[in-house]
Every structure is written in structure tokens, then in C-alpha cells.
Amino acid sequence: MTKPSYVRVIIDRAIRRELDYAVPEGLLNRVGVGSRVRVPFREKSALATVVAVTEQSEAKGIRLIEAVVGEAPILSEQLLELGRWIGAYYCCPIETVMRSLLPQVIRRAEIGWKKQLFVQPGRKIDNEALEKLRKRAPRQAELLEAILRLEAPIRASQLLRQTSLDNQTLRALVKRGLVELREEAIVRDPHADEQFIATSNLILNQEQTHALKEIALALDSPEKARPFLLHGVTGSGKTEIYLQAIRAALERGHTAIVLVPEISLTPQTVERFKGRFADMQDAVAVLHSHLSEGERHDEWHKIHSGRARIVIGARSAVFAPLKDLGLIVVDEEHETTYKQEEAPRYHARDVAIVRAKIEKCVAVLGSATPSLESYHNAVIGKYRLVTLTQRIDEKQMPLMRIVDLRQERRKEKAATILSEKLRAAIGDRMEKREQTILFLNRRGFSTSLLCSNCGEARNCPNCSVALTFHRHPAVPGRLSCHLCGHTAAVPKKCPACGKDALIYAGFGTEKVEATVSQIFPKAAVSRMDADSMTRKEAYRETLRNFRTGNIDILVGTQMIAKGLHFPNVTLVGIINADLALHLPDFRAGERTFQLLTQVAGRAGRGETSGEVFVQTYTPFSPSIQFARHHDFAGYFQQELEFRERCNFPPFKHAILITARSAHEGRAKLSAETLRRRLKEALPKEFILGDATPAPLEKLQGQFRFHILIRGEAIMRLSRLVRETLDKLPFPEDVTVNVDVDPYQLL
Ligand code: ADP
Ligand code: ZN
């Protein structure tokens, strides 16, 4: 008998166990680690992934697998190892990890290639047959002549459209053996109708040359390489280094992954990569959340089959099934969108580092504002720091001006949207025909509706936040909740006290847009935020209009903060720099510093140098002052001291546990019980916080309680938390989440 004959599988359902099955002899040579199989499970059958092939099994009552789904094994041993690491580190069952490792369309194996029929002349054609046909079936003859005239292979649908003949005629010809049909898979390429202008390597400056040399050296002996942290100011040519490093990896026979935050996966970025590798057909696959299921299927197989050698994509592209991986680039490594906010709650940058270790390849993290975690790793020698201090062509960093809104307030009595100085600067740019970006990280028109008599605000009934007033969304003139989507009409009188004293307070991007249009009636103003960009094409159109100069002033949220490159933008206004600062989050200062630096980086990318106005009520807060002086080192130093003093990352890891329920009492009780059990289970070295109401106490109708645990030995802590949770039965209506290295502390 042939051996091995058992497989261990993970079923696509949360049962938290691996199961053994026997393999029928006929299927033996088609099953390997990573294969997808159909197995009997309880009364039904289920899809599963093979994680091991063995000669023996201890399991009792072993059953046979029913079928192999698809041809080749679809998950490499390295990716499986990565999956196991994610499960252990992020405190998450392996079946859940599988959901991220393999996209649903691949796991289910229901969608296949898009098939098309092609027509070619049959073998039985000769003059005699044609002559006969002309007499007896003129329409068939006409079609056949068309086929002979056109160059094979011809798409059946296209042929029938061109000749205005029908399918029946075609079928008749096939029956006579005069025509043959062939079914072929065609690739759904989301970028098929775009043209990419081929570009070649730029001549690197000194700093870039040094960086590339270091990376190339590492590519030659990757097993010894530490991950790189490429710290380069905005516009210092990091992307050019990625492009040339990828080329170097390809020349060595390897493949490469480039991760970018979803938000900066713009047409501009895709164009740069597709253009540089335009000499290699199909070399670049793009993965992002807007792909249709069919497109995702095709891109995935293009990668798996080895046709695509470079993958550029958002978070989940870190799992791209490339072979011979040589390089993983994580651009804007500090971006919080790399963190997945549902299970498995992994951080793509950290997963990239682990994948690089498993696959023995080089990792390059790049940023103008590295995260404290990564920079700390560079300082202590875990990563290798490479710095680019200069903008390309010695372009100046933009001049940062701070506008003290407290003084403005004394003058104007109302909250300032555009200070006098910023207003003057915009007017100046209008005259010079230069462009302006105005940034505000808050959507809507008014961010709350208050009663000036009793002080009550209109809150969402499901969430503990105020409702935002919108003027222009799908349902205009209504209040809406940004967390759960609840909408409500604007009341005439205060529902609490009955007085006709309601006032709108706070403002968002809609109001900024309206105000700017009012002050500068001649300006072409556009807004870019989640409300105005609901159509898929809107984003591209707005960017195009901005680039060609059809828009003078672009107002937007973080959507416009990242990665965009517009040479004619010489002014950036940050409408309110304090928004992030006051959140109850230990990263608030870090986020503010990063945001200011990134937004400022949009200014002065062309010939003329840029100017940035930062409006704030806290002009002396450290993150604002350090950002103003482009002083990353200074900011890093003081922030690091704060983190160490308070036992926050990067000095300690954190795990945030959330218990939630529609029933407040049960959520609270569950959290408190869990806290008591954790107290018994965790050694003293771990800092266990109390069970407390979350800052965002109520979300989508659920009451939420938090427990925050901190400690250094994260793998150990994860295991202890998992074990404690597994032993504890929670009521049906209570959900408990575990978030390792959390980024969302609300
Ligand atoms: P970053 O990624 O650091 O923001 P980019 O790679 O986007 O910087 O570079 C900024 C601009 O400078 C781009 O327009 C790019 O084409 C250009 N650039 C980069 N490197 C060079 C170089 N060595 N010579 C000339 N132009 C360059
Ligand atoms: Zn809500």
C-alpha cells in the first residue's frame, strides 16, 4: 500500500480543532499540504485545508475524504507556518486565520475562470462542401465564409455580432464538422483598458544609491539580513528605491510584495509600478478591496501560478501566494490601516516581518514618520536604519506656520474655520494660479446639534456619540451617526426641554467646503471624503481634475493626506490640528505628529516651495511643535520617554479584551468575572487593568467593557488569555473579543 495515507485538516468552521481523515488510494497523489478537500463532517460535508500529510493517525472512527477541490495544493508550507504564528500571537483560532490566508473566493472554489467560446474552421472544409452549403443553407455558408475571412481564433459572441447571424446557424456548422468551438479561460483584468507608459530607472542621488546598495547586499545573503527601516522625509524618493530594489530581486530570480495602505493605493501608485515593469507582461498583480470576486480569483491564480512576479496591494496582500519570495516592502509602515480590526486582528507590517523571516527574504519598511515601535526596533538594532534626509533636487521642506485659534476666537467670537492668515494665503494662491489643499479629519456639515437652553445634544440611540448634520449626502438635511448609520430628522424644538433653542455646533468638511466657496466665489472647490466619494469613479475623476488644474481648492479628510503628488500645490491648510490630540488613546500624540507631517508633505512638491498653515488651540503641544520644525528625532525622544514612564508600547505589549452585549448588566458581569479569572491565571509580571466601561460605551446598540493587559512576553500572555477564555462559559448574548497590539482603544 502506498504511504502516507492520512491527512490532518482544518475545517472552514470555528471548531478549534484539527481533524484527521484517511485518503482513498485514488486521491493520494493529488493531496498535499495546502490542498483543499471536501470531507464528511457531522451529518454534512465541509470544505477544509490540509495542514499535514501523515502515515499514521491515532484518531478513532476515521473517515475518508470525499474529494479534492481544485488541482494543485494552494497553500505553501511557509504560509501555513505563518498562519500558525498568527494564531498563536494574535490569540485566534487557526480556522479564523485561514479566512485571511485564503480569500473566500479561493476557499469556496465556486467561482472559476471566466470562459469564452472561440471559433475556428473545422477539418471537413473543402470547396465541394462549401459549394453545397451555398445552395442548401446560404446563411450557414455566409457565416462560414466570414470565419474563413477573419483570423482565428475568433470570439463566438463577436463573430455573431459582426455577421448579424444567430447561434443556431453556428451550431449547425459545428454539427456538420465545418466549424470547431473551443472554450478558453480569459483573465478579468481590472486594469485591462488602461495604458501604462513604460518608465526606466532614474539616476539615484547619493543617499538613494547608498540605500539601494544596502538592500541589494541583503538580497545576496537574505538569511543574515535584518529588516530595513527606510526613514526618508516626504518626497525623498523612497518609492524609486522600492522600484529599483524590486528590479534587483527579480534579477536574482525572486518575486516581491509591496504593501501600501488601502488609502494610498491610488491610480497614481498603481501606474508607477505597472509603468516601471511594463516590459514584463502581466508581471504586476494588484490586490485591493474593490476587486470583484471574479477579478480577485483571477489575480490570485495569476500570482499562484507564477505568472505575476510582483504583487502590490493593501493589508491582505501580505498573504499573496508568491513563490521564491525575495523582497517585501511595507510602504508607510506607520499607517494604522495595516491593522485588521476584525479577527484575525493582525498587523500586516508585523506579519510581513515574520513572513520575511520564514521565507528568508528581505523586508523593507518605509516611512517619513516611522511608528514608535519600528523606530525603537531600529534604535535597539533589531532593524537596520537607513535614512534619506533630503527631498529630491534639494527641494525645501515646506514652511510650517502655526495659527493660534485662541486668539482668532477672541477676535471673531465664533469657532474659526479659516483664520485671517490662511484666508490671505488662499487668496494669494488664487492670484498666482497655484493650488490649495485644506484638510479636516471630520466629515459632515455640523458635528452636533445642541440645545442652548438645557445643553442636551442629539445623540445616537445606538451609540454614545453625537449625531452629525449633513447637507449633501444621500439623505440631505438629516442627522446621521457615523458609527452605525442611524439617521434622524432634525427636530424643530429641543426634545428634552421643549424650547426652540437648537443650535448647530462643530463643523466638518461639508461646512469647510461651503465656507470656502462663499469667501472665494471664483474658486473651483471640490471635496473628497467618504460621503462625496461613494461612487467608485468619483475618486479617480476628482484626482484627475485636481491634477489638470480644474480644481483650485481641494477640501478633504485623511483620504487626501497620503501619498498624493501634485506639483502645483503650494499651500496646505490644516483646519484643526487638535482633533486627534484629545482622544483617550496613548497614540494620540504620535498620530497628530504623523498626520501633520504627512499632510504637510503634500505641499511644495513642484518647483515652488510650499507653505503649511496649522490651525490649533494648543499651539505649544509637543507633537505640533516638533512637526513644525520637521524634528522627528526630537519628537521621538520625548514620546519614547512618555511611553516608558507609562508602560506603553514599544516597552510593553498590550492586549485589549472587549466584552459586549445589548444587555448592559451582562456585559459588565462577564467582564468582571473574566477579570477575576485572569487575575488568578496571570503571573505578577503582567499588568492587569480593571474591567471598565469602554470610552465608547455604547456602539451599535451594544454596551462595551474593556480589560487592558500589558506585558513583555506577548506569546506567553496570549496563550494564558486564550486558556482562560476557553475555560469560561459566557452567556449567549455576550461577545468577547481579544485584540493583541490594539490600535483602536475606544
Ligand atoms: P517618496 O516616496 O519618498 O515620497 P518619491 O519616490 O515619490 O518619494 O519621489 C518624489 C518625486 O521625486 C517623484 O516624482 C519621483 O519620480 C522623483 N524622484 C525620485 N527619485 C529621483 C531621482 N533619483 N532623480 C529624479 N527624480 C526622482
Ligand atoms: Zn450610532
Which mutation among 201, 203, 240 tests ligand 1's pocket best, with the greatest number of atoms within 8 A of CB?
Answer: 240
| C-alpha cell at position 701 | 446598540
Residue-level pLDDT at 574: 93
What is the residue-averaged pLDDT of the chain? 88
For helices 267-276 and 238-251, the axis angle rounded to 10 degrees is 40
Ligand 1: lining residues by beta carbon, under 6 Å: 202-205, 208, 232, 234-240, 392, 565
Give residues with Cβ within 8 angstroms of 577, minimum separation 6.
592, 596, 614, 615, 616, 618, 624
Say if residue 381 is exposed, middle or buried (CB neighbours under 10 Å; 0-12, 13-18, 19+). Answer: exposed
Ligand nearest to the CA of 480: 2
What is the C-alpha separation between 19 and 41, in angstroms, rounded?
10
Helices (H), 150-256: 156-163, 167-175, 206-220, 238-251
Residue-level pLDDT at 3: 55
Ligand 1 atom closest to residue 563's alpha carbon, by position in its atom list: 4
- Per-residue pLDDT of 395-408, as tens digits, reads 788 889 999 988 88
Residue 465 Cα to ligand 2 middle (Å): 7
| Confidence class for position 154, pLDDT limits 50, 70, 90 | confident
What is the C-alpha separation between 620 and 636, in angstroms, rounded?
17
Q: Does pLDDT of 71 surpass 80? A: no
Q: Which of 129 and 356 is assigned the larger pLDDT?
A: 356
- Nearest residue by C-alpha to atom 4 in ligand 1: 235
Residue-level pLDDT at 60: 82
- C-beta neighbour count of 317 within 10 angstroms: 24
Q: Which of 434 and 138 is assigned the larger pLDDT?
A: 434
Which of these, 5, 17, 13, lies nearest to 45 by C-alpha position?
13
Ligand nearest to the CA of 332: 1
Ligand 1 atom closest to residue 240's alpha carbon, by position in its atom list: 6
Ligand nearest to the CA of 601: 1
- Per-residue pLDDT of 14-34, as tens digits, reads 666 788 999 988 888 888 877
Residues 421/633, Cβ–Cβ less than 8 Å: no
Q: From residue 318, how far is each of 44, 150, 304, 338, 346 by CA, in Å?
A: 33, 45, 14, 10, 11
- C-beta neighbour count of 638 within 10 angstroms: 14
- DSSP label at residue 610: P
Q: Does pLDDT of 211 surpass 50? A: yes
What is the C-alpha separation between 150 and 153, in angstroms, rounded?
8
Ligand 1 atom closest to residue 236's alpha carbon, by position in its atom list: 3
What's the half-sphere exposure (Cβ side, CA atoms, 13 Å) at 207?
A: 19
Residue-level pLDDT at 560: 79
Q: What are phi and psi of 532, to 5 degrees?
A: -85, -10
Lowest model confidence (mean pLDDT) among 176-180, 308-312, 460-464, 601-605: 601-605
- C-beta neighbour count of 25 within 10 angstroms: 10
Query: For the chain, how big is the Rg over CA atoms in Å?
Result: 30
Say if residue 269 is exposed, middle or buried (CB neighbours under 10 Å; 0-12, 13-18, 19+). Answer: buried
What is the C-alpha separation between 130 and 663, in angstroms, rounded?
80
Residue 448 Cα to ligand 2 middle (Å): 13
- Per-residue pLDDT of 112-147, as tens digits, reads 666 777 888 887 777 888 888 888 888 888 888 888
Residues 726/674, Cβ–Cβ less than 8 Å: no
Residue 230 Cα to ligand 1 middle (Å): 14
3-state secondary structure 11-70: ECCCCCCCEEEECCHHHHHHCCCCCEEEEEECCEEEEEEEEEEECCCCCCCCCECCEEEC
Residue 476 Cα to ligand 2 middle (Å): 18
Give the CA angle between residues 737, 742, 744 to the nearest 5°: 90
| C-alpha cell at position 739 | 485584540
Which of these, 700, 701, 689, lies nearest to 745 by C-alpha position?
689
Residue-level pLDDT at 320: 96
Give residues with Cβ within 8 angstroms of 130, minimum separation 6.
141, 144, 145
Residue-level pLDDT at 636: 94
291-313 burial by CB neighbour count: b if 16+ within 10 A, else e?
A: beebbbbbbbbbbbeeebbbbbb
Q: Does pLDDT of 530 surpass 60? A: yes
Q: Do β-strands 362-367 and 325-331 pair in parallel, antiparallel, or remain unpaired?
A: parallel
Residue 700 Cα to ligand 2 middle (Å): 5
Residue 608 Cα to ligand 2 middle (Å): 45
Q: Does pLDDT of 409 surpass 90? A: no
Residue-level pLDDT at 85: 96
Ligand 1 atom closest to residue 233's alpha carbon, by position in its atom list: 3
What is the C-alpha separation between 595 and 495, in angstroms, rounded?
38
For helices 632-645 and 372-379, the axis angle rounded to 10 degrees is 100
Which of these, 398, 447, 445, 443, lies nearest to 556 by C-alpha position?
443
Residue type, 377: N
Ligand 1 atom closest to residue 203's alpha carbon, by position in its atom list: 23
Q: Does pLDDT of 646 surpass 80? A: yes
pTM of the model: 0.84
Helices (H), 505-606: 509-519, 536-547, 588-600
Which of these, 619, 738, 746, lies nearest to 344 by C-alpha position?
738
Residue-level pLDDT at 538: 84
Which mutation among 392, 395, 602, 607 tests ligand 1's pocket best, with the greatest number of atoms within 8 A of CB?
Answer: 392
Residue 401, helix vs strand vs coil: strand
Residue-level pLDDT at 73: 75
Residue 536 Cα to ligand 2 middle (Å): 25
Which of these, 270, 329, 258, 274, lies nearest to 539 by C-alpha position?
270
Ligand nearest to the CA of 702: 2
Residues 440/509, Cβ–Cβ less than 8 Å: yes
Which mutation among 197, 239, 330 tests ligand 1's pocket best, with the greatest number of atoms within 8 A of CB?
Answer: 239
Ligand nearest to the CA of 699: 2
Residue-level pLDDT at 1: 45
- C-beta neighbour count of 743 within 10 angstroms: 18
| C-alpha cell at position 512 | 469647510
What is the C-alpha separation between 332 and 370, in angstroms, rounded?
8
Q: Does pLDDT of 650 surpass 90? A: yes
Residue-level pLDDT at 315: 94
What is the C-alpha separation between 83 and 98, in angstroms, rounded?
7
- Per-residue pLDDT of 273-299, as tens digits, reads 999 998 887 899 999 877 888 888 888
- Nearest residue by C-alpha to atom 10 in ligand 1: 235
Q: Does pLDDT of 182 surpass 60? A: yes
Residue entry with cell 464538422: 177
Lowest model confidence (mean pLDDT) among 150-164, 184-198, 582-596: 184-198
Q: Which of 187 and 54 is assigned the larger pLDDT?
A: 54
Residues 170/179, Cβ–Cβ less than 8 Å: yes
CA 402 from centre of chain? 32
Residue entry with cell 449567549: 732
Long-range contact set of residues 162-165: C-beta below 8 Å, sequence gap at least 24:
165/139
Mean pLDDT of the 247-263 span: 94
Q: Which of 184 and 316 is assigned the larger pLDDT?
A: 316
| Confidence class for position 706, pLDDT limits 50, 70, 90 | very high
- Nearest residue by C-alpha to atom 9 in ligand 1: 237
Residue 73 Cα to ligand 1 middle (Å): 41
Ligand 1 atom closest to residue 331's alpha carbon, by position in its atom list: 2
Lowest model confidence (mean pLDDT) among 9-18, 252-261, 573-582, 643-652: 9-18
- Per-residue pLDDT of 667-697, as tens digits, reads 999 999 999 999 999 999 999 999 999 999 9
User: Between the ranges 97-106, 352-361, 390-399, 544-553, where is the mean pLDDT highest?
Assistant: 352-361
- DSSP label at residue 99: H
Per-chain residues with Cβ under 5 A from ion ligand 2 = 460, 462-463, 481, 483-484, 486
Ligand nearest to the CA of 467: 2
What is the C-alpha separation between 534 and 485, in angstroms, rounded?
14
Residue type, 169: T
Q: From residue 237, how far is each of 170, 208, 342, 609 by CA, in Å?
A: 57, 7, 34, 17
Q: Does pLDDT of 108 surpass 80? A: no
Residue-level pLDDT at 563: 60
Residue 237 Cα to ligand 1 middle (Å): 4
Mean pLDDT of the 729-744 span: 93
Residue entry with cell 463566438: 156
| C-alpha cell at position 403 | 495659527
Residue 388 Cα to ligand 1 middle (Å): 12
Residue 591 Cα to ligand 1 middle (Å): 25
| Confidence class for position 2, pLDDT limits 50, 70, 90 | very low
- Per-residue pLDDT of 457-509, as tens digits, reads 888 889 888 888 888 655 567 888 888 888 888 888 888 888 888 888 888 99
Share of the chain above pLDDT 90, in %: 47
